[in-house]
Amino acid sequence: MSKKLKRSILFWLVLSPIVVVILFPYAVMTISSLKSATEVLNPTWWPSELRWQNFPEMWRTSGIAEALANSLYVSALSTVLTILVSIPAAYALSRYQFVGRDAFRQFLLVSQMLSPIVLVIGLFRLVAGAGMIDSLNVLVIIYTAFNIAFCVWMLQSYFSTIPRDLEEAAWMEGASRWRTLVAVFLPLAVPAMVVTAIFTFINAWNEFVIALTMLRTEGTYTLPIRVFSLVAGRYTVDWHYVMAAAFVASVPVAILFAWLQRYLVRGLSIGAVK
Amino acid sequence: MQRATAPYILILPSFLLAAAIILWPLKEIVSLSLHDVNRFGMIRDFIGLEHFRVLFADPDFIAATWRTLVWTAAVVLGTLIVSVPIALILNEDFYGRGIARILIMLPWAISLTMTAIVWRWALNGESGMLNSALRGLGIIDTNIQWLAEASTAFPMQILIGILVSVPFTVTIFLGGLSSVPDDLYEAAATEGAGSWDQFRLITLPLLRPFINIAFVLNTIYVFNSFPIIWATTQGGPANSTDILVTYLYKVGFRIGRLGEAAAVSLIMFAILLIFTIIYVRLAMREAKA
């Protein structure tokens, strides 16, 4: 037996308890989503029949289609807005020396530390005062504001790794600063933009407290609130539908994440340390 | 002239947006916490620190504060202890490492709310699959009503908290481990250092800054974490699993005592500010080193 094979077996043995505990809830979710209404109450591991029709039934009765659309709208828009606002700020931080640069960096750091929950009372008053409860666009603005710090931070540390020579060469050729930015600099920064965009998207997709506070009518619910509302404060919970809904809400993002995980890890470790 | 104003124009949109969404609510909270406020949010007389006095006389608030400390300490320390060996293993070369990484990172991609809702179902007394799994393994004979009382619900919530904090922490550690040069280990091996000594004398000291940063960031995240407890027990039964964030939410949005809720926010803000200062200190020391 080769040394690497021995090592692999040992490592997998050590990792197996944590892997089992991590996968346990998602296995429960998948299995429960395929059981019938009566069988779901019976905690067996394998259902007597796989009820695929749970998914279309859940889709019709739970209002999840609407929630999916709302979540997509909010997450996509906040991602685009966050990136649009963060790129100039990160560019300024990495390419200019100016008075107040350090103060701005510290402001970003503090704003990253403050989670929405600490400010939720004040935010609610602000939004309610403006008569904008139930507005998805308000959610977009709030998510953008809370993601700016992280995005600027990440983009700036990546921008600083792009050599200035390339831009200077373009200036020598007579290109304007703006033209250089669009034609030379930004194409090089695409990987960092993709990483931060995915992060912002996942954050917005998963956010709970602000959505729970600001969205009061069912038609505006995002996915986490929709699925939570299927469970909270009800006498009878259709757990097989809840699990099917949770499955639909989780799996697309999980696949996206698994696919891009390697870049995320690399990007984050650059951003976190430098 | 144009060059001097350019950076300010570039940072302006992000600054205005973040400031409006963070500083304005903060001002509202300060004003609420110092005034008499009715159920509908009408601000009346200035009452100074009365809300804070009421809070500190409320046994539920004191209990929630202590529970928050236990919650934060248990989840953060548990996460660090679990994450170090996982990161060390994932940094090695072995068959299936890519899959192992994806599996360990999985909870990161799935919303905390979904994970917590699924756990709530898995922990159900009669129909929950945790009981049936444990009975199948012969660990328990009778079903446990996990979420029916704090003595079993709270430890399970801590366990869930650890599981969802591991991915981020392992990621930070992997970043740290990749910066450890291999020749250090080779040099140590030729000096006759065993693997425990190599870990103790090389890996751990080089990993220390990353452990510090993971410690502070996790402390902030866990301290603020709302969905796990809200989606499993909503702080119940009888407020026995409330931490400050769930207490804040109940006082503000269920009972409608906005003044007191604002006071809780400010107390949390003060604690977070202390964490932030520690973080900045650590980050700056790293930047200098």
Query: Residue A83's domain is classified under what CATH number?
Result: 1.10.3720.10
Total number of residues shown for chain A: 274
Distance from CA of B48 to the nearest CA of A (A): 18
Q: Is the confidence at residue A270, as pLDDT, over 60? A: no
What residues of A are in contact with residue B9 (Cβ under 8 Å)?
88
Question: Which percentage of chain A shows pLDDT scores above 70?
Answer: 95
Using alpha carbons, select from A218, A224, A219, A228 the residue that is nearest to residue A250.
A224
The predicted-structure confidence for B61-101, as pLDDT tens digits, reads as follows: 999 999 999 999 999 999 999 999 999 999 888 898 889 98
Q: How far is B287 from chain A (nearest CA, A)?
A: 8
Whether A223 is covered by a domain: the verdict is yes
Per the CB < 8 Å rule, is A93 touching B117? no
pLDDT of residue A268: 60
In tens, the pLDDT along B45-58 reads 888 888 999 999 99
Residues A74, A222 contacting (CB under 8 angstroms): yes
In a domain? residue A14: no
Residues B103-125 have pLDDT tens digits of 998 888 888 999 999 999 999 88
Q: Give the pLDDT of residue A274.
A: 43
Task: Indicate the range of A26-30, A229-233, A269-273, B9-13 predicted with least confidence.
Answer: A269-273
Q: Look at residue A42 and give its three-state secondary structure.
A: coil
Q: B42-288 architecture in CATH? A: Orthogonal Bundle (1.10)
Q: What are phi and psi of A233, to 5 degrees?
A: 60, 30
What does the pLDDT read at residue B78? Answer: 97
Give dist(CA A32, CA A175) in Å, integer: 61
- Both tokens of B281, joined, read 């200190």
* Residues of the domain holding A206: 63-229
Domain ranges of chain B: 42-288
Write down the ipTM of this complex: 0.86
Grade residue B1 by pLDDT with cuts at 50, 70 and 90: very low
C-alpha dihedral (A273, B272, A155, B105), degrees to nearest 10: 70
Which among B19, B33, B6 is positioned nearest to B266, based on CA atoms? Answer: B33
At A168 the pLDDT is 84
- At B147-173, the pLDDT tens digits run 988 999 999 999 999 999 999 899 888
Contact A92 B258 (CB under 8 A): no
Q: What is the pLDDT of residue A36?
A: 87
A56-73 residue pLDDT tens: 989 988 889 999 999 999
Q: Is A118 exposed, middle or buried (0-12, 13-18, 19+ CB in 10 A)?
A: buried
Alpha-carbon dihedral angle through residues B55, B58, B62, B64, given to the nearest 10 degrees: -90
pLDDT at residue A267, rounded to an integer: 63
Q: How many CB pairs under 8 A join A and B?
A: 285
The reported pLDDT for the residue numbered A273 is 45
Interface of B with A in 42-81 (CB under 8 A): none
B41 to A4: CB separation less than 8 angstroms, yes or no: no
Strand partners, B35: B46
Q: Which pLDDT does position B142 carry in this prediction?
A: 86
- pLDDT tens, position by position, B165-206: 999 899 888 888 877 777 777 788 788 777 788 888 888 888
**What is the pLDDT, as a whole number, of residue A271?**
52
Looking at residue A166, its pLDDT comes to 82
pLDDT of residue A203: 87
* pLDDT confidence bin for A82, thresholds 50/70/90: very high
Note whether B178 contacts A269, CB cutoff 8 Å: yes
- A154 found inside a domain: yes
A35 falls within a domain? no
Q: Which of residues 153-172 of A touch B (CB under 8 A)?
A: none
C-beta separation of B52 from B33 below 8 A: yes
Q: Tell me whether residue A16 is exposed, middle or buried, using C-beta atoms within 10 angstroms of its C-beta: 0 to 12, 13 to 18, 19 or more.
A: exposed
> Looking at the 3D structure of chain A, how many domains does it have?
1
Nearest to B103 among A19, A117, A232 (CB): A19
Please return the burial class of A234, using the count of CB atoms within 10 Å of its CB with bins 0-12, 13-18 and 19+: exposed
E strands of chain B, at which residues? 35-37, 43-46
The answer to whether residue A270 sits within a structural domain is no
In a domain, A117, yes or no: yes
- CA-based nearest distance A272→chain B, Å: 7
Lookup: tokens for B51: 């809300």
Least confident of A33-37, A119-123, A261-265, B126-130: A261-265
CB contact under 8 A, A122 and B24: yes
| Band of pLDDT at residue A266, cut at 50, 70 and 90 | low
- Band (pLDDT 50/70/90 cuts) for residue B126 is confident
Which pLDDT score, from 0 to 100, does residue B289 have?
Answer: 57
B87 near A CB under 8 A: no
Q: How many whole angstroms separate alpha carbon A29 and alpha carbon A250?
A: 10
The structure's pTM equals 0.88
Flag whether A25 is in a domain. no
Q: How far apart are CA B74 and CA B117, in angstroms?
A: 21
* A18 assigned to some structural domain: no
* Residue B116 CB-density burial (10 A; 0-12 exposed, 13-18 middle, 19+ buried): buried
The answer to whether B36 and B44 have CB atoms below 8 angstroms apart is: yes
How far apart are alpha carbons A160 and A94 in whole angstroms? 6
Distance CA A272, CA B170 (A): 13
For residue A5, what are the contacts with CB-CB under 8 A and spacing of at least 6?
A: B95
**For A100-140, what is each residue's pLDDT tens digit?**
898 998 888 778 777 888 999 999 998 988 888 999 999 99
Q: Cβ separation of B25 and A121 shorter than 8 Å?
A: yes
Residue A95: pLDDT above 70? yes
CB contact under 8 A, B275 and A43: no
| CA distances for B99 relative to A258, B95, B151, angstroms | 9, 9, 36
- Provide the pLDDT for residue A245: 93
Average pLDDT rounded to a whole number, residues A31-60: 87
Q: What is the pLDDT of residues B25-43, one digit of tens each?
A: 999 999 999 998 877 777 7
Nearest to B215 by CA among B74, B7, B76, B52: B76
**Is the pLDDT reported for residue A195 higher than 50?**
yes
